[in-house]
């Protein structure tokens, strides 16, 4: 008997093959018209009219980080990946002006050109603010959230993507020298001119969001942060008591710290969508310096995957999806078959017991 998951996987892989043997852009266009693809559960982003799949695809891995011009092979590869993502229900596509030195946005623009109708079916989000110094990748990055930089970065992204608007713009990092009034002026201009519909941040904690919110008129609707079973920090901060009892430790008189800025709770309270970047990095392939708790977590993930007849990737993503904050993992695979496996997380339900077992295993 073919399960729903096997059927969807076979369908998705078959459509990858079909996309390869015909004009791949046309294949996407056909799917857009037919509306026959499976869907992933979706969330409405508060304060907006945007509805996005609860798994997003990050364009950071679409192309390699070199300064060679985008070529026909790059376009074929990117079209295939975008097709597989869309075909498996993903409608949120995450970019940044600096990914692959702008080539990720450029090649995505080529995909959009070949796929009439796709632009209006998806939500395009990009980021700005991180600026490489001369040496490129690996050299120091300076953060610049001046009005001038934000506006020119967005105009560059729009040009490369070949679109007239970003659905969401995220500030890619906190600028230690930020003048919130400058950010407010940039947002005002970009919003009034129709170049950006909604705004958010990435890698911000609670007071850093609050500082911006004092000056910026538009609501902050997204915070994209590093979050996974390998990097659970935002989910464990302020949770020391719960963690200690989840690990079976006896209560003692020693003080139970509640340190942390409560980023996730602040986002929940204020309707800010939490997106998780690198949701699988370090979980599927253990780093050489993996801590004992990460090793134990990865083992538990593998056991659960066997028990539920799925992949470790789907379990690790399902752990994020199970959290009531409505966390949206941003996937980064550049292998179609991995992307299909990752999307299967939408159909995996973890019990409270299973979620807490992983929570207790991963936290130090």
Ligand X SMILES: NC(=O)c1ccc[n+]([C@@H]2O[C@H](COP(=O)([O-])OP(=O)(O)OC[C@H]3O[C@@H](n4cnc5c(N)ncnc54)[C@H](OP(=O)(O)O)[C@@H]3O)[C@@H](O)[C@H]2O)c1
Binding site for ligand X (CB under 6 A): 58-61, 94, 202-203, 224, 277-281, 284, 311, 313, 330-335, 338, 341-342
Q: Indicate the residue among 185 and 314 with the shorter CB distance to ligand X.
A: 314
Quote the least distance from Cβ 108 to ligand X, whole Å: 11
Q: What single DSSP character describes residue 364?
A: -
Quote the least distance from Cβ 26 to ligand X, whole Å: 26
Q: Indicate the residue among 88 and 203 with the shorter CB distance to ligand X.
A: 203
Q: Encode 7-51 in three state secondary structure.
A: HHHHHHHHHHHHHHHCCHHHHHHHHHHHCCCCCCCEEECCCCCCE
Quote the least distance from Cβ 335 to ligand X, whole Å: 4
Residue with tokens 């459509």: 15
Quote the least distance from Cβ 178 to ligand X, whole Å: 16
Residue 130's Cα: distance from chain center in Å?
17
Q: Indicate the residue among 232 and 279 with the shorter CB distance to ligand X.
A: 279
Quote the least distance from Cβ 172 to ligand X, whole Å: 6
Quote the least distance from Cβ 201 to ligand X, whole Å: 9
* Torsions phi, psi for 170 (to 5 deg): -110, 140
Which H or E run contains 240? helix 240-246
Q: Give the residue nearest to ligand X (CB).
A: 332
Q: Indicate the residue among 185 and 223 with the shorter CB distance to ligand X.
A: 223
Q: Indicate the residue among 149 and 185 with the shorter CB distance to ligand X.
A: 149
How far is residue 347's CA from residue 332's CA, in Å, rounded to a whole number? Answer: 19
Q: What single DSSP character describes residue 303?
A: H
Q: Can you state the angle between helices 147-161 and 180-192, rounded to 10 degrees?
A: 40
Q: Indicate the residue among 284 and 302 with the shorter CB distance to ligand X.
A: 284
Q: Are 320 and 279 in contact (CB under 8 A)?
A: yes
Quote the least distance from Cβ 230 to ligand X, whole Å: 9
Q: Indicate the residue among 185 and 212 with the shorter CB distance to ligand X.
A: 212
Whole-number Cα distances in Å, 312 to 3, 162, 229, 261, 287: 18, 37, 11, 30, 16
SS3 132: strand
């Amino acid at each position: 008997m073919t399960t729903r998951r096997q059927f969807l996987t076979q369908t998705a892989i078959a459509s990858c093959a079909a996309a390869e043997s015909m004009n791949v852009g046309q294949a996407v266009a056909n799917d857009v018209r037919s509306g026959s693809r499976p869907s992933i559960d979706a969330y409405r982003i508060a304060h907006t009219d945007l509805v996005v799949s609860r798994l997003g695809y990050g364009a950071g891995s679409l192309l390699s980080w070199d300064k060679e011009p985008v070529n026909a092979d790059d376009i074929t590869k990117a079209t295939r990946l975008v097709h597989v993502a869309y075909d498996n229900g993903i409608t949120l596509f995450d970019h940044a002006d600096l990914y692959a030195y702008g080539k990720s946005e450029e090649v995505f623009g080529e995909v959009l050109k070949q796929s009439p109708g796709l632009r209006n079916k998806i939500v395009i989000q990009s980021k700005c603010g991180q600026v490489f110094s001369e040496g490129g990748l690996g050299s120091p990055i300076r953060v610049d959230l001046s009005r001038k930089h934000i506006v020119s970065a967005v105009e560059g992204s729009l040009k490369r993507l070949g679109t007239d608007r970003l659905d969401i713009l995220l500030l890619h990092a906190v600028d230690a020298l930020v003048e919130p009034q400058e950010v407010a002026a940039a947002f005002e201009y970009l919003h009034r001119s129709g170049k950006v519909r909604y705004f958010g941040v990435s890698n911000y904690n609670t007071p850093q969001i609050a500082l911006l919110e004092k000056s910026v008129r538009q609501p902050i609707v997204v915070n994209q942060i590093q979050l996974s079973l390998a990097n659970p920090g935002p989910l464990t901060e302020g949770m020391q008591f719960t963690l200690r009892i989840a690990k079976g430790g006896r209560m003692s008189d020693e003080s139970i710290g509640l340190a942390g800025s409560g980023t996730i709770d602040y986002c929940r309270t204020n309707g800010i969508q939490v997106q998780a970047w690198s949701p699988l990095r370090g979980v599927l392939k253990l780093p050489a310096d993996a801590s004992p708790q990460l090793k134990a977590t990865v083992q538990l993930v593998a056991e659960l995957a066997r028990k539920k007849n799925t992949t470790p990737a789907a379990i690790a993503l399902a752990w994020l999806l199970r959290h009531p904050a409505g966390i949206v993992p941003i996937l980064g695979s550049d292998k179609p078959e991995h992307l299909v496996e990752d999307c299967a997380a939408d159909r995996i339900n973890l019990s409270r017991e299973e979620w807490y077992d992983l929570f207790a295993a991963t936290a130090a």
